[in-house]
Amino acid sequence: MAIEKKTIPVSTKNPWLDLLEDLWKNKLLVFSFTFVFGIIGIVVALWIRPMYEASALIQVKTKGGSLSAMLGDVGSLLGMGGSSAETEIQLMQSRRILEELIDSLGLHNEANPTETIDRFLRKEGRVDIRYMKLPDSSAVAPEIRSKPWVLIADDSLNFSFYDADMSKVLSCSKGKLCSAPYHGDSVSILVSVMDVKAGQKFNVTQKMMVRAVNAVLQNLSISEAAKKTGLLHVSFQHQYMDKAVTVVDSLTSIYLRLNEEFSSSDMKNTLELLEDQLPIARKTLDSLMLKLNEYREKIGSADIAAETKITLESQVKLQQQIILLEQMREEKARLFDASHPQIVTMDRQIASLKREMAKANSQTKKLPETQQKILTMTAEAQFAQTAYSDLLKRVEQLRLLVAGSAESAQIVDHAVADPKPVKPKRKMIVLAFIFAGFCAAFGFISLRKKMKGVIDPFLVSKATGLSVYSLIAKGEKESLEGLHTLQLSLELESYDKNRILCFTGLLPHVGCSFVAAQMAKLFAESGKKVLLIDADLQKGNLGSLFGFEPAEGLVDVLAGKKSISAVVKTTQTPGLDLLLCGYHLLCSEGVLGTKKFANFIKLVRESYDIVILDTPSLQKTMDVSVVSRELDEIVLILEYGRHSMDSILEGVSLLSKTSTLSKVIAFNKCVLPQKKKI
């Protein structure tokens, strides 16, 4: 028995060279892909409307910068710690500012041109709607609620406005607010800009405020020019350059106004409250001083003993400390409970001061009644004087703060727009599409190469390590040369005993039965005694090639119902006998793997020079692996251009795992424009 050669040639070819070779072979396809994608890229680049960018620079001053340093703790308590750039950026992007911006400029109103050709030729008209009021949805028919309204230009200054059902609602002119009744409601529109030709049509829609805000945010960019500089760079992109400038200018103006209001509103409220308290404190002070003076005049003495003065100063100081600590305790009580260490400490301090205050009062009671009354009245007057002075000082400080907060931000550079569009980058778009076309071409070539059936026998032999014995042409007459080549190749192999050959296909309908039948005829014509066995026990129909109807055959022999001589058919070719499959079975592997089949093969080997088994394809069943231990050689039939290399390798691997027999390959149904030497 011939031994199969397992040596597989090692490829030394660079895979990059293979890639370049494939691309060069398909250069027309690559050019077609890149050309088509390039054209698409040009169309896309022309379709996208240009976007212009306007930018401005704003300086945000630290709120109360020098004033905070001058006022110290008072400035800190009043929120003079400054404002970060991140805070101002979030303020500018807030809905409070953006909604006012959208309402003032009508950014939620859209008028989109409808002419496709004008868009490619950059001859689209422009309509800016500053104000528009559409009727409530209940006044519009349900089937047209989602459709846009239509504006048609009568000339460069006048237009007609239609509803979604193309019913004319009103006629109006640029810069004029026009209104008209509509199904129990009304329609109003104010067009601020018209750059159109007569007859141009626009689809008019009005966005919800939330969507309009999101649309503005997508084109709005606010960032700090440099870290900790307080300089904010504000930019906005729009398809119209002048509109971009208008949006940035309006945004900065609204921000500056609201920023001033936000900065001074709290201080103004506090100032008003303190100014209201100032006359009351003054009146209280004047009243106490008047009573003190009247009492002194009454008793005829205005002098206080030195010891009494010390007691008076001590009482006033203690009273001020008690009031200050009580105020601090109230602030801490908002954050902590009564058991917190800070509040407990303050309680102890207040209690200690009150004890000292009581002690001072007890000493005061030892004084004469006249001195006690003068001391009490003087203490009340001095306390009122101190309170009034502190209140007056705070009012003056707040007035200074309010005046200083009026310029917490200012415009450094007003909005200007670059006349060159910032997008689209048309060259980059076209190049990206060309590159995508090249990648698509490469992917298509690779996929086609992988899916395309193999037609090169050298590649199959190189990949599998098996010999390709023949290329059998398509057609009965054309196939004769390939069949003779296969017969000759098989006959040149030397064997010490009569041979058992098995023909199997990788897939159904590759012509395996045809090749097996033709090889049996050629061997018989060469003087060999040949037995052709239909080993497809499930759907075998080999007898039809010789004009035989289905009859008893191999199944009956293995079942012991018939002898071999009783079921073997004699064909018209001398020396060629045919054994049909017989009764069809659902599962044939259990039958062919029995000892009965092995004994059957021994008998026919002794009676014939060559026995050929036609087995089902590898895709349908594994019969060939079951009978392989009784065989001498397996001939794998491939259909020319039908199988991928992966499927061929998989089939060969399957045969190699189940059998160590010699295996060869033959291509059937080949399309051969000219003779090829194997």
**19 found inside a domain:** no
Q: Which two structure tokens, joined as six digits, stand for 81?
A: 């710690």
Average predicted confidence (pLDDT) for the chain: 82
- Can you say whether the dihedral through the CA atoms of 385, 391, 392, 394 is positive or negative? positive
Q: Are residues 283 and 394 in the same domain?
A: yes
DSSP per position, 395-452: HHHHHHHHHHGGGSEEEEEEEEE-SS--B--HHHHHHHHHHHHHHHHHHHHHHHHHHS
Task: Please tell me the predicted confidence (pLDDT) of residue 267.
Answer: 66
Is the pLDDT score of 7 beyond 60?
A: no
Residues 609 and 556 in one domain: yes
> Is 504 within 8 Å of 637 (Cβ atoms)?
yes
Is residue 28 a part of any domain in this protein?
no
Residues 125 and 229 in one domain: yes
pLDDT of 218-240, one tens digit each? 999 999 988 878 899 999 999 99
Helix 369-404 vs helix 306-333: angle between axes, to the nearest 10 degrees? 50
Decide: residue 569, CB within 10 A, 0-12 exposed, 13-18 middle, 19+ buried: middle
500 and 605 in contact (C-beta within 8 Å)? yes
User: Are residues 296 and 229 part of one domain?
Assistant: no
Write down the residue that tokens 């001072």 correspond to: 360
One domain for residues 83 and 219: yes
pLDDT, greater one: 234 or 285? 234
CA 653 to the chain's CA centroid: 43
Spatial separation of the C-alpha atoms in residues 215 and 218, rounded to whole Å? 5
Q: Of 235, 251, 267, at which residue does a domain stop?
A: 251
Q: What is the count of structural domains for the chain?
A: 3
Place of tokens 């050629």: 522
Residue type present at position 288: L
**Residue among 593, 534, 596, 536 nearest 561 (CA):** 596
Average pLDDT on 255-275 reads 73
Which percentage of the chain shows pLDDT scores above 90? 34
Do residues 430 and 284 touch, judged by C-beta distance below 8 A?
no
Q: Is the model more confident about 42 or about 587?
A: 42
What is the rounded distance in angstroms from the CA atom of residue 536 to the CA atom of residue 101?
A: 84
Question: What is the structure's pLDDT at 303?
Answer: 53
Please tell me the distance from the alpha carbon of residue 507 to that of residue 639, in angstroms, as a whole number: 8
What residues have CB less than 8 Å from 608, skipping those under 6 apart? 498, 529, 530, 531, 577
Name the band, by pLDDT with cuts 50, 70 and 90, for residue 40. very high
pLDDT at 65 over 80: no
558 shares a domain with 464: yes
Residue 421 resides in a domain:
no
Instruction: Tell whether the model's pLDDT for residue 178 goes beyond 90.
Output: yes
pLDDT in tens, 418-457: 899 998 899 999 999 999 999 999 998 888 777 777 888 8
For residues 101-119, average pLDDT: 92
C-beta of residue 230 within 8 angstroms of C-beta of residue 88:
no
Q: 267 versus 545: which is more confidently predicted?
A: 545
Query: Does 294 score more than 80 pLDDT?
Result: no
Domain match, 521 and 563 both: yes
Token pair in block for residue 96: 């409070």
Tokens 């707040």, located at residue: 398
In whole angstroms, give the CA distance from residue 402 to residue 388. Answer: 21
Share of the chain above pLDDT 70, in %: 84
In a domain, 557, yes or no: yes
Strands 576-579 and 530-534, by their bridges, are parallel
Taking residues 172-182, report their average pLDDT. Answer: 94
Q: Which residue has the higher pLDDT, 35 or 401?
A: 35
DSSP state of 227: T
Task: Tell me phi and psi for residue 340, to 5 degrees.
Answer: -65, 140
In residues, how long is the chain?
678
User: What is residue 260's predicted lDDT score, i.e. its pLDDT?
Assistant: 75
Task: Identify the weakest region by mean pLDDT among 250-254, 364-368, 644-648.
Answer: 364-368
Q: How many CB atoms lie within 10 A of CB 544?
A: 12
In the three-class reduction of DSSP (H, G, I as helix; E, B as strand; rest coil), residue 467 is classed as strand
The span from the CA of 203 to the CA of 478, in Å, is 69
Integer Cα distance of 638 and 647 in angstroms = 11
572 lies in the same domain as 510: yes
Residue 559, pLDDT score: 85
CB burial of 304-328 (b: ≥16 within 10 Å; e: otherwise) equals beeebeebbebbbebbbbbeebeee
pLDDT score of 407: 52
Cα separation of 111 and 151, whole Å?
A: 8
Report the predicted TM-score, pTM, of the whole model to 2 decimal places.
0.55
Q: Locate 23 and state its tokens.
A: 């691309």
Residue 531 and residue 619 in one domain: yes
User: CA end-to-end span of the chain, whole Å?
Assistant: 23
Q: State the Cα torsion 412-415-416-420 to the nearest 10°.
A: 120
Give yes or no: residues 383 and 289 share one domain: yes
Confidence of residue 209 (pLDDT cuts 50, 70, 90): very high
Q: Which of 407, 425, 443 is the last residue of a domain?
A: 407
Long-range contacts from 113-118, C-beta under 8 angstroms, 24+ separation? 113/200, 113/201, 113/202, 114/201, 114/202, 114/203, 115/200, 115/201, 118/200
Of 353, 361, 356, the C-alpha closest to 326 is: 353
Compute the distance between CA of residue 129 and CA of residue 212 in angstroms, rounded to an integer: 14
- Would you say residue 132 has pLDDT above 70? yes
> Is 374 within a domain?
yes
Among 104-113, 336-345, 530-539, name the one with the lowest average pLDDT.
Answer: 336-345
Give a yes or no: residue 2 inside a domain.
Answer: no
Residues 485 and 605 in one domain: yes
Are residues 235 and 287 located together in one domain of the fold?
A: no
Contact 623, 615 (CB under 8 A): yes
Check which CATH number belongs to the domain holding 517 and give it: 3.40.50.300
Backbone φ and ψ of 659, nearest 5°: -155, 140
Predicted confidence (pLDDT) at residue 155 exceeds the cutoff of 70: yes
Residues 6+ apart with CB under 8 A from 215: 107, 207
Ramachandran region, residue 168 (left: φ > 0; alpha: ψ -120 to 50; beta: rest): beta
Mean pLDDT is lowest, of 211-215, 527-531, 640-644, for 640-644
Poorest-confidence range of 302-311, 357-366, 405-414? 302-311
Look at residue 638 in the predicted model and tell me its pLDDT: 92
Per-residue confidence (pLDDT) for residue 401, from 0 to 100 = 67
Q: How far is the C-alpha of 19 from the C-alpha of 452, rounded, in Å?
A: 16
Range of the domain at 617: 457-670
Weakest mean pLDDT among 74-78, 330-334, 401-405, 539-543 = 74-78
Q: Quick check: 537 and 581 in contact, CB under 8 A?
A: yes
Q: What is the pLDDT, as a whole number, of residue 677?
A: 47
Tell me, yes or no, whether 432 lies in a domain: no
pLDDT level of residue 34 (50, 70, 90 thresholds)? very high
Do you find a cis peptide bond into 181, omega within 30 degrees of 0? Answer: no
Question: Regarding beta strands 177-182 and 168-173, do their DSSP bridges make them parallel or antiparallel, or are they unpaired?
Answer: unpaired
Q: What is the pLDDT of residues 505-563, one digit of tens each?
A: 988 888 999 999 999 999 999 889 999 999 888 888 888 888 888 888 888 888 888 88
Residue 50 in any domain: the answer is: no
